[in-house]
Chain A
Amino acid sequence: MEEKKKIKKPRGKARLIPGKCIACGARCQSSCPKDAIEMTEDCEPVISIEECIGCLKCIKVCPADAIEIYFTPEEQRILDEIKARSRAVAEPEAEVLSDKEAAALAKIKQYKGVWVFIEQTEGEPALVAWELLGAGAELARTLNVELCSVVIGNKVEELCRESFAYGVTRSYLMDAPVFRFYRTEPYCQAICYLVEKYKPEIVLVGATGLGRDLAGAVATKLETGLTADCTGLAIDDKGFLLQTRPAFGGNIMATILTENTRPQMSTVRPRVMSLPVRDASLRGEIVRESMPLKEDDFTTKVLEIIKDSKLDAVDVAAADVIVSGGRGMCARENFSILQELADELGGVVGCSRSVVEAGWMPVERQVGQTGKTVRPKLYIACGISGAIQHLVGMQDSDVIIAINQDRQAPIFEVASYGIVGDVLKVVPVITRRISELRAQRIKPKENRQPITKNAGDRKGRKHID
């Protein structure tokens, strides 16, 4: 045995697999204990053969699996030899935890439960909160833990009850005048207080403007990991939250973990998770918490809230859904069918240059080289042939639908899905179908309470003292 051990096991050298590097930001270089990695101008690693000790750190850290270990033929021969000898005594390399890692592990074990932050504005909840409860319930089931909601606001207890209808069994409530309007500081303090007290392992927040503002502050304060805009959530075999999100402008998907800190925080875009079925018979426990916060503690004040319905300008560049029309719409009047589809999808109507030229739409709606550059989640090009001037303004949209009579039109080259047909016939059918399907689905939920408390007095422009 002793003789055998004398053969030093070759560790090999790390090398880059061409074409695989995604320029993630020098993780490999940062992980290298020997400073054996230099980055090129293109931010790809160059690994020094002399310096590399084959420690595998860079290989483990590389998110793109772009680094591999290789052996010279001589080393390979030795390896084979070792393998042959040790076959009998298979020694599984047990992962040895360092003290630090062990401590961290012990600490994270204290955290239990899945929390969802219920976003609301003036008592009106954001739909994404209910969507997250659906996803959160899945996670809680897998982990066999409780699904909780966090409600912060002023006179918003109703929302706790509403969250029970989506499977929440315990709802944490912070209800005080100081929380009437969302402000980063009081909300951040409130959540941090709750998290530190009740130690959830997962906190989900909607990736809305408000949610991203809050989650970023909370995660920093708690010094924990936060993954933005997740499109997929799952639990791995070790109980870690697998957070999948698009990166690199949607060109790649990345699965991200928060291994050593808790809670694991994610924001999730609206309309990514499907809305769970509401069951008004479900009940849960409301945990009322309070903090000694005074209005004078905060210098930030919300002076005015202006609803978009009162803003005249339609902002094509900021829209998530754009239904765009081209010359194929044939006449100005036909744009009303696009508006109907846009309304159904919660989007806006855009157009190509020639439509502006023809005077059918105002220039602010123009998408393209000399108009707006847009990157919505969904772009529906209706009767647009796809001249290059137009394509460059919209081709980075997540999903592009082309509806056009001419199968040869260049728009089909960039489209995710296409329908070859008369746009004036196809579009109204789509609108009608969506509205029919929605009507069917809404019906069984008729018992749903009007949770929009002051929906009646929603004012366009509202001054706040």
Chain B
Amino acid sequence: MLVVVCIKQVPDTTQVKIDPVTGNLIREGVPFIMNPFDTHALEEGLRLKGKYGLNVAVISMGPPNTEITLRKALALGVDNAVLLSDRAFGGADTLATSKVLAEATRQLAQKEEVVIVLCGKQTIDGDTAQVGPGIATRLGYSQLTLVEHIENIDLQAKKIIARRKLEGRDEVVEASLPAMISVVREINTPRYPTVPMRLMAEGATVTLWDNKEMKLNEETIGLKGSATQVRKIFSPERAVGEILGDGAANPDEAANLLIDKLSEGGLILI
């Protein structure tokens, strides 16, 4: 039985800065990393492997250099890594992305029964949290988002019990397998690769699936299959370092100025 972990290689957005003069993004030297939320999904997959003896496959849709990130997953102990890369996949929004990932899962499931698909809660570059539900819906799997703890998996009865983290409450939910689970960062602490595993991963194979392999209708994937279009992109106005009033002499005035700023920015509701 197989656990499929969906990962995305993303630019490390915490490293991206805006050029104060041109307003352009400074991306030079910014590394591509495994989406931090996905590292927790991967870790959970590896823990399930340890606990239930499941095999773990990672899939990732992206440009050819995504292979580097897939090798990192191999170094952590996954059994199989599949790179979904094709020009036709490019420019995809979440709808078109989930199409490709769901299809890849379906094809993997033809060889080995898939019990769980794991995703990170969201990505740090897109922040949408939509691909996981997209995959679940397309495959007809149970959908458990924002999981902070997997309490039990019964492979015989095909049941899973998981604890979800929502605003102001946790929910303990039972669902049938196969299930798509998106995880929050609190679920675990990702492991660090050992050197022998890294060396092994350097020579391991990353399977490449392009659209010849996947045979998806090109109208439903990539840019063409995307329902949303980005019309324009602009720099947000971000206040930096504005000192409000004279807090030492007149704390009331400074406090009022601050509250004005915060309510203008929608940060506090008055």
Q: Do chains A and B touch in the complex (CB under 8 A)?
A: yes
The answer to whether B223 touches A30 (Cβ under 8 A) is yes
Chain B residues whose C-beta falls within 8 Å of the C-beta of A250 in the assembled complex: 13, 236
Chain B residues whose C-beta falls within 8 Å of the C-beta of A255 in the assembled complex: 230-234
Chain B residues whose C-beta falls within 8 Å of the C-beta of A227 in the assembled complex: 228
A137 to B98, CA, bound (A): 32
Interface 1/0 per residue, A341-368 and B, CB below 8 Å: 0000100000000000000000000000
A249 to B127, CA, bound (A): 8
Chain A residues whose C-beta falls within 8 Å of the C-beta of B144 in the assembled complex: 300
The answer to whether A41 touches B227 (Cβ under 8 A) is no
A223 to B137, CA, bound (A): 11
Residue of A nearest to B252 (CB): A429
Q: Nearest Cβ in chain A — how far from B100, in angstroms? A: 12
Chain A residues whose C-beta falls within 8 Å of the C-beta of B199 in the assembled complex: none
The answer to whether B236 touches A246 (Cβ under 8 A) is yes
Chain A residues whose C-beta falls within 8 Å of the C-beta of B227 in the assembled complex: 219, 223-226, 258, 260-261
B76 within 8 A of A: no
Q: Nearest Cβ in chain B — how far from A403, in angstroms? A: 7
A418 to B258, CA, bound (A): 8
Chain B residues whose C-beta falls within 8 Å of the C-beta of A418 in the assembled complex: 241-244
B143 within 8 A of A: yes
A256 within 8 A of B: yes
A71 to B59, CA, bound (A): 43
A291 within 8 A of B: no
Residue of A nearest to B102 (CB): A220
Q: Nearest Cβ in chain A — how far from B223, in angstroms? A: 4
Chain A residues whose C-beta falls within 8 Å of the C-beta of B128 in the assembled complex: 216, 226, 228-229
The answer to whether A220 touches B90 (Cβ under 8 A) is no
How many B residues touch the partner, as a band? 35 or more
Chain A residues whose C-beta falls within 8 Å of the C-beta of B138 in the assembled complex: 220
A249 to B139, CA, bound (A): 29
Residue of B nearest to A227 (CB): B228
Q: How many interface contacts (CB-CB < 8 Å) are there between A and B?
A: 322
Interface 1/0 per residue, A10-54 and B, CB below 8 Å: 000000000111111111111100010001011100000000000
Interface 1/0 per residue, B230-270 and A, CB below 8 Å: 11111110111111111110011011101101100111111
**Assuming A223-B227, A258-B228, A301-B174, is B133 touching A251 (CB within 8 A)?**
no
A65 to B22, CA, bound (A): 13
The answer to whether A426 touches B251 (Cβ under 8 A) is yes
A223 to B125, CA, bound (A): 23
The answer to whether A306 touches B127 (Cβ under 8 A) is no
The answer to whether A63 touches B230 (Cβ under 8 A) is yes
Which of the residues A25, A220, A399 comes within 8 Å of B267, measured between beta carbons? A399
Chain B residues whose C-beta falls within 8 Å of the C-beta of A20 in the assembled complex: 24
B105 within 8 A of A: no
The answer to whether A421 touches B167 (Cβ under 8 A) is no
Chain A residues whose C-beta falls within 8 Å of the C-beta of B166 in the assembled complex: 208-210
Residue of A nearest to B129 (CB): A212
A405 to B249, CA, bound (A): 12
Q: Nearest Cβ in chain B — how far from A215, in angstroms? A: 7
The answer to whether B91 touches A216 (Cβ under 8 A) is no
The answer to whether A184 touches B133 (Cβ under 8 A) is yes
A331 within 8 A of B: no
The answer to whether B251 touches A425 (Cβ under 8 A) is yes
A274 within 8 A of B: yes
The answer to whether A417 touches B242 (Cβ under 8 A) is yes
Q: Nearest Cβ in chain A — how far from B104, in angstroms? A: 16
B153 within 8 A of A: no
A254 within 8 A of B: yes
The answer to whether B126 touches A247 (Cβ under 8 A) is yes
B84 within 8 A of A: no
A305 to B245, CA, bound (A): 46
Residue of B nearest to A229 (CB): B127
A68 within 8 A of B: no
Chain B residues whose C-beta falls within 8 Å of the C-beta of A35 in the assembled complex: 87
The answer to whether A434 touches B91 (Cβ under 8 A) is no
Which of the residues A31, A65, A430 comes within 8 Å of B255, measured between beta carbons? A430
Sample 14 A-B pairs with CB under 8 A, ordered by A number.
Answer: A65-B232, A185-B143, A209-B164, A217-B133, A224-B227, A253-B233, A254-B230, A258-B228, A271-B268, A300-B174, A302-B171, A303-B172, A412-B243, A429-B255
B interface with A by C-beta (< 8 Å) = 11, 13-14, 16-19, 22, 24-25, 27, 32, 63, 65, 87-95, 98, 124-134, 136-138, 142-146, 161, 164-176, 184-186, 222-224, 226-236, 238-248, 251-252, 254-256, 258-259, 261-262, 265-270
A interface with B by C-beta (< 8 Å) = 19-31, 35, 39, 41-43, 61, 63-65, 121, 126, 183-185, 188, 208-210, 212-213, 215-217, 219-221, 223-229, 231, 242, 246-261, 270-275, 299-308, 311, 315, 317-318, 345, 377-378, 396, 399, 401, 403, 405, 407, 412-413, 415-422, 425-426, 429-430, 433-434, 437-438, 441
Which 7 A-B residue pairs are closest in the complex by CB-CB distance? A421-B247, A216-B133, A249-B13, A225-B227, A26-B90, A63-B230, A30-B90
